[in-house]
Chains A and B, each alone.
Chain A
Amino acid sequence: MAENEPIRIHQDMVFKLSPKRSPSEVKLRSMEWAIVTQLNGEKSVAQIAEILALNSEEVEVMFSRLMAAGLLELVRMPEKEAFISPDLFEEIEYQFTFFVGPVASILIEDLLADLKRTRSKIEKKQVPLLIELLSLEISDEEKRHQFQKTMLKKIKGVGL
């Protein structure tokens, strides 16, 4: 990655405070200070967001600002295998189609768009949420349970 290329903030990234610049040299908002206090080189962006109850847009904006201000040092990038395999995605789609019929692929596309993800770029950790949101589209309670149960078994099977 080029030095000047902006880094897209990813939920699995881990940062620590950069020794090159002190936070006191920069004018920070209170929530940015709160983020700074959480940076320890161990907590991921997602974990900090959870603690501070930040949504994904706020995370993106605030971490990008801190990054641009030179206050962050990247400790860990997200793992390459953070994304689910095409096989698992196909299995989810297959099972979902079994319960809701041919409209399944449209519902999946809509949901992926809402989550700002694509079929090939969906993180493993997003799978339970994806399944939960898809299962809400199944109106029959018994079928919804069957879908959730089948998918939970799959998730466990691939070690998510």
Chain B
Amino acid sequence: MIESFFKDLTEINGVEAIIVFDNHKRILDSWRVTQFNPTIFSEMGETFLHIFGMMEFLQSDIHEISVPYDKGIIYARTLPRFYLVIIAKLSVEIPLIRLTANVCLKDAEEHRKYRKMIKKLPDKKFYQIKTTALDDVEKIMLENILEEFNGRK
């Protein structure tokens, strides 16, 4: 998937890894130039599913997040049926990543193979965090937050 539809992103100097997750936080595809801790991708997938799931619930217009850390930057972008996480060096400009991602995503939509693949993916993030990605304590906390949120509406 990455080699076929996001090749331009892999060619940006300083991009070190790209991971595509479905809304069940399963890794659909990944690409990397450097070694990463084997669990780090799935941990990141879970974290961003929580964030994007809540954004979906709140009907937020924010569809991307960039998080700088000591050695680089993590850029994550949510789409209706999947989300994309990119790890890059600090020297890489986020607008360049965003511009490239815009072009790749729009071009990909022209491909039948891509559309067919995307169509099969689950389309709700919030439902997933509520049912699968939380432990019992987190589920109770979320229920409390939602009750309060619904009470305010």
CB proximity to A under 8 Å, residues B58-74: 68-70, 73
Docked pose: A156 CA to B98 CA in angstroms: 14
Interface flag for B3 (CB, 8 Å): no
Contact of B8 (CB < 8 Å), options: A44, A53, A131, A152: A152
Residues of A within 8 A of B68 (CB): 50-51, 53
| Residue in A43, A50, A51, A132 whose beta carbon sits within 8 Å of that of B95 in the complex | A132
B87-115 CB contact bits vs A (8 Å, 1 = yes)? 00011010110111011001100000000
Majority SS at the chain B contact face = helix
Is A97's beta carbon under 8 Å from chain B? no
Interface extent on B, as a size class? 10 to 19
Closest Cβ–Cβ distance, residue A2 to chain B (whole Å): 31
Partner of A149, one of B11, B73, B103: B103
- Which residues on the B side are within 8 Å of A85 (C-beta)? none
- Smallest Cβ distance from B111 to chain A, in angstroms? 14
* The residue from B73, B102, B106 contacting A50, defined by CB atoms under 8 A apart: B73
**A152, B103: Cα distance in complex, Å:** 8
Query: B106 touching A47 by the CB < 8 A rule?
Result: no
Interface assignment of A148: CB less than 8 Å from any CB of chain B: yes
Tell me which residues across on chain A come within 8 A of B100, comparing CB atoms: 152
Q: How far is the CA of A129 from the CA of B98 in the complex (A)?
A: 9
A97 CB to nearest B CB, Å: 19
Contacts from B to A (Cβ < 8 Å): 8, 11, 68-70, 73, 90-91, 93, 95-96, 98-100, 102-103, 106-107
Q: Which residues of A contact B (CB under 8 A)?
A: 43-44, 47, 50-51, 53, 125, 128-129, 131-132, 145, 148-149, 151-152, 155-156, 160
